Amino acid sequence: MTEHIKIENDGGILILTMARPDKKNALTNAMYGALADAIQGAENDPAVRVVLIRGEGDMFTAGNDVGEFAAIATGQMQGERHVSRFLKSLAQSSRPLVAAVHGRAVGVGTTMLLHCDLVVLAENALLSTPFVNLALVPEAASSLLMPLRIGYARAFEMFALGEAVDAASALAWGIANRVVPLDRLDAEAKALAGRLARQPAGAVSTTKRLMRNPEMLMAQILAESERFAERLKTMEAREAFTAFAERRPPDFSKLAAT
Ligand code: COA
């Protein structure tokens, strides 16, 4: 367990809060483990009808902890990678997933939204997927789900250039259901989750199962993970992680195109 994930059940809504605000809710292995346990655990808990994911502090999440990426790349961090279990729990969840997003949602912070069934954004939300900026590749089946959701042109630009998309665009492109003022975010997301919780749960989960194909998603996640693991060990990635640690822009110009 980790103190960086808060878990509470509020009238059938399992609220999962990423709570590492001093590090912008950057996700560590332990945090992925706690999220995976909670989402998987909900499958066997009749008291959970909806799962709501949110973040504490001034943003949803800055994505995967970049220090842990670097530690994995250099072999300093070994053992079970809970991120795989987390992605699997998202792809296979029969419970409807709702996200309440404010401020930045970076990397997996954005790609997890593609697995959520209702996404509520605060007006200040900024979604970005700067995997390529870190010399990595998209994950969480986003290489399949993002172009399906918003079209190839927008998806490739989001991935390859890594620039943030604002709430209005995310709504217009179909990534989100609602944009609300920041001070209304939690109440609106909870109200929507509450409405879902009052619907017949069997019909909701069967509808979700008809609309999403967990087997296909898992196959894409596996293919991405293999490429991701290869990319983590490249000179490009080493330069990106070193630059992040040194708080300077990376310089990929001396690394040849392959
Ligand atoms: N991994 C590890 N630490 C992170 C982090 C991450 N993904 N994102 C932020 N942090 C840490 C910073 O290193 C800093 O730590 P420090 O106080 O010990 O120096 C602290 O969180 C605050 O971050 P800071 O950059 O000062 O906040 P900001 O509001 O100016 O900027 C971001 C926020 C999200 C724009 C910026 O932190 C960022 O770009 N983070 C990296 C995002 C990223 O590339 N994620 C991986 C995607 S695949």
**Residue nearest atom 8 of ligand 1, based on CA coordinates:** 62
What domains, with CATH codes, occur in the chain? 5-184+197-207 (3.90.226.10)
Distance between Cα 29 and ligand 1 center (Å): 16
**Residue nearest atom 12 of ligand 1, based on CA coordinates:** 23
Burial 30-66 (b: 16+ CB within 10 A, else e): bbbbbbbbbbeebeeeeebbbbbbbbebebbbbbbbb
Residue 249 corresponds to which tokens in the numbers above? Answer: 């822009």
Task: Identify the pLDDT of residue 80.
Answer: 86
Task: Identify the pLDDT of residue 257.
Answer: 85
**Residue nearest atom 7 of ligand 1, based on CA coordinates:** 65
3-state helix, strand, coil in the chain (%, to 5): 50, 15, 35
**Residue nearest atom 16 of ligand 1, based on CA coordinates:** 23
- Is 217 close to ligand 1, i.e. is its CB under 6 Å away? no
Residues in CB range of 202: below 8 A, 6 or more apart: none
What is the radius of gyration, based on Cα positions, of the chain?
Answer: 18
- Is 154 close to ligand 1, i.e. is its CB under 6 Å away? no
Nearest to 142 by CA among 224, 79, 63, 74: 224
- Please state, in angstroms and rounded to a whole number, the distance separating the CA atoms of residues 14 and 194: 11
Q: What is the DSSP letter of 257?
A: P
Give the pLDDT means over successive 10-residue stretches in the chain (258 positions): 92 97 98 98 97 98 94 87 96 98 98 98 98 97 98 98 98 98 98 98 97 96 96 94 95 89
- Is 61 close to ligand 1, i.e. is its CB under 6 Å away? no
Task: Identify the pLDDT of residue 73.
Answer: 85
Nearest to 111 by CA among 152, 151, 144, 69: 144
- Alpha-carbon distance values, 188 to 44, 96, 174, 232 (Å): 27, 16, 18, 39
Distance between Cα 62 and ligand 1 center (Å): 6
Task: Identify the pLDDT of residue 1.
Answer: 66
Contact 129, 158 (CB under 8 A): yes
Distance between Cα 25 and ligand 1 center (Å): 9
Contact 98, 116 (CB under 8 A): yes
Q: Are strands 97-101 and 50-55 parallel, antiparallel or unpaired?
A: parallel
- Please state, in angstroms and rounded to a whole number, the distance separating the CA atoms of residues 164 and 189: 22
pTM of the model: 0.97
Contact 155, 147 (CB under 8 A): yes
- Alpha-carbon distance values, 149 to 31, 104, 126 (Å): 27, 20, 17
Distance between Cα 131 and ligand 1 center (Å): 14
**Residue nearest atom 1 of ligand 1, based on CA coordinates:** 65
- Is 23 close to ligand 1, i.e. is its CB under 6 Å away? yes
